[in-house]
């Protein structure tokens, strides 16, 4: 199964442009702001809840636009 890496810079930029705060973005994504912050700083891996939340909050974004396929 392929592995993917989140493009944290692109996601951070999307959030900065669309939301006044990480708290508001996290709320709309259905996750805690601390979880969102940890994912964006690389301290946690994005799980299913994060992926579902970011795709729901940014309906115009496709998975492949914010996740990069890792080379094995």
pLDDT at 51 exceeding the cut of 80: yes
- Please give the mean pLDDT across all residues of the chain: 94
| First vs last C-alpha separation in the chain | 11
pLDDT (tens digit, 9 = 90+) per residue, 5-40? 999 999 999 999 999 999 999 999 999 999 999 999
Closest CA to 43 of 4, 6, 3: 6
Is residue 19 within 8 Å of 53, Cβ to Cβ?
Answer: no
Q: Give the pLDDT of residue 2.
A: 77
CATH topology of domain 4-69: 434 Repressor (Amino-terminal Domain) (1.10.260)
Domain residue ranges in the chain: 4-69
């Amino acid at each position: 199964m392929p592995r993917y890496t989140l493009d944290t810079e692109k996601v951070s930029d999307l959030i900065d442009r669309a939301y006044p705060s990480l708290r508001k973005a996290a709320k709309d994504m259905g996750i805690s702001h601390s979880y969102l912050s940890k994912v964006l700083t690389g301290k946690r891996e994005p799980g299913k809840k994060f992926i579902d939340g970011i795709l729901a909050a940014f309906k115009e974004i496709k998975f492949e636009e914010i996740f990069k396929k890792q080379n094995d």
